[in-house]
Each structure stands twice: as C-alpha cells, then as structure tokens.
Structure 1
Amino acid sequence: MLSTYVDNRDPSTEVDTYGEIVKIETAEQGAPGRVTEDRIRVLPNAVVVLDGVTSRTRPPDRNGGWYATKLADELARLINDTDPLTDLLAEAITNLVREHDLVPGDSPSATASIVRWTADRIDALVLCDTPVVAFGRTTHVLEDTRLEDLRPQPDILAWKNKPDGWWVAEAEPVAAHQARTASWPRSEIRKVIALTDGVSCGVSDYGLFSWEDLEEMPLGEVLDRIREAERGDPEHKRWPRFKTHDDQAIARITG
C-alpha cells in the first residue's frame, strides 16, 4: 500500500489501497496570527482529523496541538481493518494517559473523526464537533451535536466527559465509546469528507454552502470563503460565536 501526504492548502494524493485508486485531498490553515491546533493524518486505508483543545491549566508545552499530534501518532500506529474504531480510540487515549501522566479534567484534548475503508466497507467515527459526511445516492451526515446542544449551560466545561454531557478525547478512555459511529457499503459511497468545526460552520452556522457543495468545491476555496465571511462579521453580530476565526481542516476521500 502506498500513501503520500503533502501538507499544503489543497493537496491531492492518490493511495493505492485494495487494488483501487483512492484520491485524498486536504486543506488546512490556522486562525490568523496563530499556529493551527487541527491535525490531519492520512494513512494507507484511513484518514484521521483532529481538533486540538488547550486546557486552561495545561503546562506550556502541552497545548491542544501537542495532544492532537500525539493522538494522531497513536491512532496511526493502532488502526487496522477489523477492530471497532471506538476500541482503537479508547486504546490510543489509554496509551497517552499512561505515557504522559494525563489527568482527567486537567489535560489538553481533541475532537476526533476517523474514516476507514476496506475492500467492501467504509467505517466512520465522530467524537464532538468534527463531523463526517458520506455522499452516495443520499447524503449521510454523521455528527455529534452534544456540545452544541449544551451551549446555553453557564459552565460548559463542567459537563465535559460526564453522563448527559458532552464527550471529547482527553484523559478518559471511556469517552471513545461515547462516539457516534456509522458504516456504509463502499460500493454505495462516492466520496467522504471529514472536517473540523472551523470548516463545518460554513454549512451549519453560516449557511454559505450545503454539504453537497463540499463534495465538489476546491477545498482551498471553501476555507477562503469562510474566512471572508468571518472578516465581514468582526463583531460576531450576524453569526454569534466565541472567536472571529477558528483553525480549519478538511479532508475529502474519493474512490
């Protein structure tokens, strides 16, 4: 199996997997003035997209980008064709907790999406607000809206990785088994996208695109149009949000 990943605004990669050509396109950029904490990892038969989240009390060298990188590395080592994605994510979190002495509630974290394919199946996992969308005869949206559903709560962090709350990859392996999952016959799916909330907001919050638009649009153009819209709303009046810009990452798989 051959996998080549080039970290550019809109690279295109071909992966020879199971005798078929799979085209993988990615685009990512940080919010203006900061280094992105989003991560995309392309594997021979999987793509991992993570959005790192920095803890309020974290050591200075352990931010969300650090955690997302470590989690991506561990998932790249563990992912296989058969084990449930929830089990693989739980094992990756367990290993990071053990190796780096991570403490629940006081560690960096990451939202996560995983897309894995075999000769006849596509599996997907979503934990927190990093959705996966599969395009076939119909559009299948796999998303985890529990964080957004709890936004009105005065202390949203008090509900992190708690029953009836919202879940994210951090230092609690049990969170992995709270992820949303789906599987589709490979023959029925043309393309799949996985994206962080800095890109999905263009559909779910801003209404700039439909999911179907993202099946075909140049990915760099998608990022640029979101940035342009955000610059036109610097006081967050049209689209209420916590920050003007977020990190952006999107991967599109065809084949």
Structure 2
Amino acid sequence: MRVTMATSPGRPDQHNEDFTAATPYGVVLLDGAGLSGTPSRCSHGVAWYTRQLGGALLAGLAPNNRQMLTTVLADAINQTASLHAGTCQLDDPGTPSATVIVLRRNRDQLEYLVLADSVLLLDQADHAPLVVSDDREADVGRLYRATMDGLTNGTPEHDQARRDYVQALRAHRNKPGGFWVAAADPSAADEAIVGSRPVKDVTAAALLSDGASRLTDIFGLTDWAGLLAILRDRGPAELIRQVRAAEDSDLDGGRWPRGKTHDDATATYCTHIS
C-alpha cells in the first residue's frame, strides 16, 4: 500500500488536534474533539489524547493481531485511559475525545472501522465511491446550532454561541439516542460502523477529518468522486489548499455557516492496495 498524507492546523497559534499515521498493516486517522473555554477535568489536552490513542491503535494493527477492529479500538481506548486515570476525571463530559477511522488489509479483504463524523472514501473500480461516515452527531447538532449559525463568525457572540453549542452536545455524548466517540469508555467501540470490501474491488481509499471533507459535505464545491480525483491527480496537500481557499472566501460564515471558520484538516490517501 502506498500512503500519502497532509495535515494543517485550523489556526497557527493552536495545536493540531488531528492525528494520522500508517504502517505496512494499516492506516488510522483521528480528529480530536474539545474546545478551549469550556470545562474539562483533563490536564493533558486533546492533541495529547489523539497522539496516545492513535499510537495504541497502530500497535493493535500488528500482523499477528487478528482481533476484530472493534476489539482493537476498545483495547486502545482502555490503554489510553490508563495513562491518565490517576490524574484526570475521565467520566467528565469534557474529557478529551476523538473520531476514529481504521483501515486494515486482512488477506484479501480491506477492513474498516469508522466512529463519529470523519469520512472514509473507498474508490471502487466498477461502482461509485463508497462513503462511510457516522452522522449521529450532526443529527443531534441540528437541534442546537441555529443560534450559532445565525451569527457572524469571528465575533464574541459567535464564539460564545459555539461554546454553548459544544456544552449542549456533551450531554448527548456516548449515550443511547445520542452520538458516540472515542473517549475513556471502551464500550463506545461497539457503536462504530464496521465493514469490509474485497481488496480487488478497491482502487484507492481516503481518510478525511471533517476539516478536509468540508470541501464536499459543507461547501459543496465538488462531489465525493471529484474529491477523490483531486487526491488522485494532485494529492492531499492540494485538497487542503482548496479547503483553505474556500474558508478564506467566507470568513464571516455567511455563505457556509459553520462552528469553526478554519478547522484542523487532515487527508490520508492510500493507493496500490491490491
């Protein structure tokens, strides 16, 4: 498998809370969730969490480990929680969390796991792209985002509305009827979307944080096939460049209402899979 990747922080003065990495046996991408100015009883921060969880996931993709991907994720969540259980309040709703994508080749199958709203695209030779994402957070979010979306990005009023929005979402995190992310409870792994495709049917795969997928799912400037064409022809860095150009053309969020004017953006593109 040949893997190329690019990542960019939403703001140069803040840590990039995305994480992506690959080994000969698989690929992972995480998009950390947190917001400064909202309560959290974890002293480590979101970027620390995504690095730790991402590393544990990669270790779980070793070739001698044939466990189900949900088990790999649950073990990684447990391992990461053990690193700060003695210092942080892990049952607090503000504890760091992350979306997760895992892609693993297992003999003649390409296995995948998706938890929360990062996007996995599988480019299929004879069919339209397979789009895998978990929309439960967006479904819950629509109940609370009207005030935020009606305000101008970059204003104190919008910043406060976004904090209120995040606080409202936390009441639904990792609860039945809400949405699920990786945090400290390994049972969240059971809520992930899992599946597989024959390796021979997949020509390429893309793992996208929602800061990179917004070119299609928020901005609508291309469809999923067009996004894959950007990756194929010009690479992940060009996809992020186009995202940034779109964001910069709408700094006040008037055309595309969104919580973050600029978001951490990460794209990982896999070819030569067979």
Place the TM-score, normalised by the shorter chain, in its bin: 0.7 to 0.9
**CA-CA distance at 1:170 after TM superposition:** 0.2
In structure 2, the partner of 1:70 is 52
* Partner Cα separation in structure 2 for residue 63 and residue 100 of structure 1: 11
Q: Mean Cα displacement is larger for which, 116-125 or 193-202? A: 116-125
In the alignment, the residues of structure 2 paired with residue 78 and residue 60 of structure 1 have an alpha-carbon distance, to the nearest angstrom, of 25
Q: Is the Cα–Cα contact under 8 Å of residues 26 and 252 in structure 1 kept in the other structure?
A: yes
Select between 139-148 and 151-160 the one with higher mean Cα deviation: 151-160
Are residue 116 (structure 1) and residue 104 (structure 2) matched? Answer: yes
| Superposed displacement of residue 222, structure 1 | 0.9
- Structure 1 counterpart SS, 2:141: coil
**How many residues were matched structurally?**
234
> Is the Cα contact below 8 Å between 1:39 and 1:49 reproduced in 2?
yes
Higher percent of residues as helix: 2
Q: In structure 1, what residue type is equivalent to 2:179? A: W
In 2: Cα distance, 1:215 partner to 1:242 partner: 25
Correspondence 1:64-213 to 2 at 5 A: 64-80=46-62, 82-101=66-85, 103-104=90-91, 105-136=93-124, 137-138=126-127, 139-154=129-144, 155-213=168-226
Aligned alpha-carbon RMSD (Å):
1.5
Residue 30 of structure 1: aligned partner: 9
Q: Which runs of 5+ in 1 are unaligned?
A: 1-21
Does structure 2 retain, via aligned residues, the 8 Å contact 1:53–1:65?
Answer: no
Higher strand residue share: 1
Q: Counterpart of 2:215 in 1: which secondary structure?
A: helix
| Higher relative contact order, structure no. (Cα contacts within 8 Å, ≥ 6 residues apart) | 2
Q: With structure 2 as the length reference, what TM-score do the two structures score?
A: 0.81
* Corresponding position: 1:254 with 2:271: yes
| 1:232 counterpart residue number | 249
Does 1:215 find its partner at 2:228? Answer: yes
> Would you say the 8 A contact 1:27–1:220 is kept in 2?
yes
Quote the offset at 1:66 in angstroms. 0.5
Aligned partners of 1:236, 1:146: CA distance in 2, in Å? 23
- Residue type of the alignment partner of 1:99: L
* Aligned match of 2:162: none
Gaps of 5+ in 2: 145-167
TM-score by length of 1: 0.87
By how many angstroms is 1:65 displaced? Answer: 0.7
Q: Percent identity?
A: 31
Structure 1 residue aligned with 2:29, among 46, 49, 61? Answer: 49
